[in-house]
Amino acid sequence: MSTNIKLKASARTLSLKDCYAMGEDGAYSLFKKLRWPATDGDPVCPKCGSVEVYEIKTRRRFECKACRKQFSVTSGTIFASRKLAFTDMLAAFALISNSAKGLSAMQLSRDLDVQHKTAWLLAHKLREAMAAETKDAILSGIVEVDGAFFGGHIRPENKKEDRKDRRLSEHQTGKRRAVVVARQRKGRTLPTVHETEADGVETVAKIVAKGSTVHADEAAHWDTLHAMFPTLRINHSVAYSLNGACTNQAESYFSRLRRMIDGQHHHVSPKYLAAYAEHAAWLEDHRALDNGAMTKRIIGLAMGHPVSRQWKGYWQR
């Protein structure tokens, strides 16, 4: 019998104890190495690219000898102007990578002893950096596609005679959205958010390479794919897998996303649903990594991602 990789000691390479045991200097050194991997942590000027810099040790900043620009390890990244200590940031990244079904901002704020909006903003910045890893990605080979609806819950009235048929469009909240996912076997997972599942067909056609084989269920809107790809269909009322056709890996992704939203966040606004969908896809794609490697990968993505247009400055209104 094979053992789940997550049950092995080799999967536990970074704990919260390790994060704080390395101290602020150790955490700072790790961020430097992941910001400038090509120079093994030696700073590179973000303005002119020079490696000739002065170190201002009392402020943990650098000054370029060529252009005289001052910068820090997070300058020009999505965590520019950060206030948290490096040990707290490292712990936050470790907590998020360890959470297989996501981590609520409320829980993160309690674990780090920071305000809820601080934890919420940090998590969303990380989700943006994670999503950037698959920007412009194209899937190929065998690709499974599927869709699922999230949000738009309507609480029923207390008395039976006052209850309405919540299936009718006139009784909907307008906040229900369809997450459509295309997942390459032994490859990446690309989710998108639409008003209806049928709206995702055009997107699937753009992110799947010509010549790929697509697996889909019996929903009528997937019929369009037959004209573009070799397509296998599975009727889930008959079987989950039949004659080589199945969408089990796409369903596996939705299982993680639904548990993330229902079990951790409880409610996700349509405005931010895509961010949570991409977070779940990133966790699904990197589930075989040990938690230390996952944390370092997240830090590397954050340190390589530019300042966010959405989450920059005093964005709260």
Express each pLDDT in 235-272 by its tens digit: 999 999 999 999 999 999 999 999 999 999 998 999 99
The strand order across the sheet containing 231-234 reads 189-194, 177-184, 142-150, 213-217, 231-234
Evaluate if residue 7 carries a pLDDT over 80: no
- Answer whether residue 316 is part of any domain: no
Nearest to 205 by CA among 134, 143, 281: 143
- Answer whether residue 1 is part of any domain: no
Evaluate if residue 201 carries a pLDDT over 70: yes
Q: Are residues 253 and 147 in the same domain?
A: yes
- Answer whether residue 4 is part of any domain: no
208-235 mean pLDDT? 96
- Answer whether residue 309 is part of any domain: no
φ/ψ of 25, rounded to 5, equals: -65, -40
Is there a contact between 74 and 67 (Cβ–Cβ < 8 Å)? no
Residue 170: what pLDDT?
A: 78
- Answer whether residue 177 is part of any domain: yes
Is there a contact between 139 and 207 (Cβ–Cβ < 8 Å)? yes
Nearest to 51 by CA among 37, 40, 65: 65
Q: 13: pLDDT confidence band, cut at 50, 70 and 90?
A: very high
- Provide the whole-model pTM: 0.92
Residue 163: what pLDDT?
A: 87
- Answer whether residue 310 is part of any domain: no
- Torsion of Cα atoms, 164 then 165 then 169 then 172, to 10°: 60
Q: 222: pLDDT confidence band, cut at 50, 70 and 90?
A: very high
Residue 313: what pLDDT?
A: 65
Q: Domain range spanning residue 220? A: 142-279
- Answer whether residue 157 is part of any domain: yes
Kind of pairing between the strands at 241-242 and 245-246: antiparallel
* Amino acid identity for residue 209 in this structure: A
pLDDT, tens digit, 9 for 90 and up, residues 90-139: 999 999 999 999 999 999 999 999 999 999 999 999 999 999 999 999 99
43-70 mean pLDDT? 94
279-302 mean pLDDT? 96
Q: 1: pLDDT confidence band, cut at 50, 70 and 90?
A: very low
Evaluate if residue 315 carries a pLDDT over 70: no
Of 163-167, 177-181, 257-261, 308-312, the one with minimum mean pLDDT is 163-167
Q: Are residues 273 and 193 in the same domain?
A: yes
Q: Are residues 147 and 127 in the same domain?
A: no
Query: What is the number of domains present in the chain?
Result: 2
Taking all residues of the chain, what is their mean pLDDT, rounded to a whole number? Answer: 93
Q: Are residues 153 and 118 in the same domain?
A: no
- Answer whether residue 234 is part of any domain: yes
Q: Are residues 149 and 122 in the same domain?
A: no
Evaluate if residue 211 carries a pLDDT over 60: yes
